[in-house]
Structures are given as C-alpha cells and as structure tokens.
Amino acid sequence: MNSQTNIIEHVWKDHIFQGKWIKTNNLSREIINPATNEVISEVQLVSIDNVNKSVNIANEAQKLWKKTTFENRAKVLRKAAHFFEENIQTFIDWNVQECGSTLLKATWEANACIEQLYMAASMPMAASGEIFPSSIPTRTNVWQRVPLGVVGVISPWNFPLLLSIRSIAPALAMGNSVILKPSEFSNVTGGALLAWLFQRSGLPEGTFQVINGESEIGETLVNHPQVNMISFTGSTGVGKKIAETCAKQLKKCALELGGNNAMIICEDADVEVAVNNAVWGTFLHQGQICMQTGRHLVHRNIADLYIQKLKEKALSLNVGNPSLPETHLGPLINATQHQKVCNIVEEAIHNGAKLECGGKGEKLFFYPTIITNINKDDPIFTEEIFGPVAPILIFDDISEAIEIVNSSKYGLAVAIHTERTAWAYEIAKEIKSGMIHINDQTVNNEYHVPFGGMGESGYGGRFGGPANFDEFSQRQWVSILEKGIKYPL
C-alpha cells in the first residue's frame, strides 16, 4: 500500500456512508487481496435498519436535488471527473489489489470512468422535453422528463468502478438520488472510494450513499417501496429474482446480465487480426467479463491455423501478480470461481475434448486455456464460464454458425471476422444479440453508444449516450391552457 492509499483508508475505517461518514460499531468485513491472500483493509457493513434510514435520507435529499439548477448538477459531475483524474492512481491501485485487475485493465477502467463522468455532466443541459401539437389550438402539450426519485444501484466486482458510475452519474444528472450496493468482493473499489469521490465533489449530503453487506442488504434495497428504480449488473439468476420483485411493485428496473458471447471467424478472415482480437476478448481480466468471448466458431478451412496461432499467443501470456506491468492475467476473484472453472474444463476433457494448452491453475491463478474437439451442446460451450477459457467449435457454413450462436439463451455481444463487411452487416440482422462487432472483439464499450443485451443478457433498457435520458427518468405529459374551455356536457 502506498502512503496515499493509507491516508484514504482512514476516510472509511469504522464508518458507513449515509451522505456523510458515520462511525458505527457494526460488523466489519475484511478486504483480501486475491493475488496474495493478504488482508489489506476492512469496511463496516450496514444493517437492515441502516438501509431503511438511508432510503429515508435519500428520499428527502432528492426533493432538493431535483430542484437544483442544471448548471449546479453539471458542475458537481465535472468536479467528480476532475477529482477522479487528480487521484486516478489511488483508484487504479485499489482495483488491482482488491479485485485482481491487471494494471492495464485497471488503468483503462479508470480512464473510462472519467469519460463517463464528463458525458453525464453534459446531460443536465440537454432538452428536458418535447412539444406536441393539439387538436385544441390554444392548448400546449409538453412531454417532459422528470426524475424517478431514489435509484438503487447494485454493481459487480469485475468492473467495480465503471459499472457503478455508468448508472450513478446519469441517475444523478437526471435529478435522482442514488444508493449504491457494491459487491462484497469490491467494497472499497466499488463502494468506499466512490463515496469519497462524490463527497469531495460537492454533492449535497444524502444524495449519494453506499451500503455494504451481503445479499439480504441488496434484497432490502430492492424491496423498499420508496426505491423507485433498481439498476443491476450481475448474474442472470439474481437478475431474474430482482425483475420478479420489481414487477410485483411495478418498479422500474434495468438489468445487464450474463453472456456467452461468440466470435465467428469466417474463411476469408485475417487470421492474425482475429487471433489478436480473440486473445483480448477471451483473456482480458482473466475472462471475468460479461462480454468475454466465450465461444469461438471457426470455419473449417482456417481452423488449424487459427488454433495454432491462438495457442502460441496464449502460451506467451504472463500470469501472476497483477500489480506488475508485465502481467497479462491476474487471479480469479475467489476460490469458488476458481473451482468452477477447473470443474468445467475437467468435465470437458473427461467427455472427450482436447486440451490444447492451460487447463490448470495455482492458488487463484488459472492459465489461459484452449479447448477443441467439442460439440455445440457441451457445457463448456453453452455455459458462461467467467474464466480464461477459449472453447473452439468448427463450422462449415455461415447459416450453421448463426444457428449455433442463436441457440444460446444469452444475447449480449457477437463478433464477426470477414473481408465482406457489407455482407456481415446483413448477417448481423439475423443474429440475436444486443451488440454485433464486425472485425473486432466482443469486449467493447463506447460511452456514448447505447449498450445492452437481449434474451437472458439484458432486461429493461440500455445504458449509455441518449439511452441514459429515458433510462434514469420517467415521462410526464403536461397540457397547458391559458384559459379554460367549455366541454359539451
């Protein structure tokens, strides 16, 4: 830990954040570095009573925040971006030590957060509604956006900063208050650091809060009748439960869920480029990304070359301490996830698959793995692995590849590699996926482009760019007559 990190730790030690730091005697949770198994900090957990109080605080704070001028809301978000830039190394260091992110990944994520904050800062200045004509000449019809109220954000550990800020910032920009429940595996990076960030940015007290805890804390947030929206990023199983709870209350929810994303390598693809893209899409952050390239479909005519080059590249990757600049893959997040990856690889080999490389790990580390000689119904090809594993399936015809891709219950991202870009654009229309990337990889994110999946990969809308306006607000029709009219009854 560097001196700046130690100073920052004093901000949250023995405290919870309810718009301000409040000292408590609550139970605490140790923060463990997955690469070293060392305890590096601890955070205070909240009680259910704390959650209920936070909702009350957020509800009152939002009444004032929504009346804040657009200039002031924009100013707070710009200040947050500036503060993040000034302290970027602190955010990077914690992401590496707490979440097993490599320096490359943590640095990219930190810079993406800054861009997200600047983009959100522009939102309050946009048009807040539209004017519609009326059959009554003296009537004006205004269809305007108004805040939802209290927005609950439940974020994951794999991109704890980015996947929190992409909901928090636009929700605040639209005049909502926000309560964040981070993953228990990113309580500092995805929780305490964001409390520190927004408090130092001049956000009014209570407008943003953080609640650390296990699943019952998230359930309390989702169930609370004064929480008007839930934005959740995580597993499909948990997302379904949240959707069910929100549906019973007619509560808005936005769910970005799991994925088993495919890369289709056509026979005319540039194999060198395709392999480069596949390595990034499959092995970045140890494959612990919802957009990870989890299925490789390769045309038979180039399959041997593709497998050979992908294997060469995988064997060249460095696995180890994520704080070292030469490291490409750090540890998996915990022992449960490590065992899951081990089990699915061992099962595939037992059932006749061929292990080209990898297939093992030490402690929480797992080597880049390539599996061939599989069937389209094998679990290693159909399930979301969330590990550094590349299952390769050979196809003969594009219609066969499309059918295989569409057979998945997921529909988040697909990549197509071919020289025929216009043809690929037409092919994209036949694929069930929220995102299609031609001659690129599946782990793509551009802050200004609406982002989201289909099927069991997404529910309730999109994040990013113009989608954020309607995602984090609701529409209201106001009709105006300067003078009342008389109706025939």
Residues annotated as part of the active site: 256, 290
* Closest alpha carbon to 417 in 303, 310, 271: 271
Distance CA 150, CA 62 (A): 7
Residue with tokens 């999109």: 462
* Closest alpha carbon to 328 in 359, 363, 272, 366: 366
- Would you say 364 and 34 are in contact if contact means Cβ atoms under 8 Å apart? yes
Instruction: Report residue 280 as tokens.
Output: 């990034």
The secondary structure element, H or E, covering residue 308 is helix 303-315
How long a stretch of residues is the chain? 489
Distance CA 382, CA 344 (A): 11
* Closest alpha carbon to 104 in 246, 317, 381: 317
Distance CA 233, CA 115 (A): 20
Distance CA 215, CA 192 (A): 18
- Would you say 265 and 298 are in contact if contact means Cβ atoms under 8 Å apart? yes
The secondary structure element, H or E, covering residue 458 is strand 458-459
* Closest alpha carbon to 21 in 182, 198, 167, 190: 198
Distance CA 410, CA 261 (A): 8
At residue 464, the 3 state secondary structure works out as coil
* Closest alpha carbon to 270 in 414, 418, 392, 395: 418
**β-bridge partners, 151:** 178, 229
At residue 314, the 3 state secondary structure works out as helix
Instruction: Report residue 164 as tokens.
Output: 């929190």
Q: Where are the beta strands (DSSP E) in 300-348?
A: none
Distance CA 238, CA 268 (A): 40
| Cα dist from 206 to 78, 209, 210, 258, 297, whole Å | 19, 6, 10, 32, 49
Distance CA 392, CA 314 (A): 14
Q: Where are the beta strands (DSSP E) in 412-453?
A: 413-417, 435-438
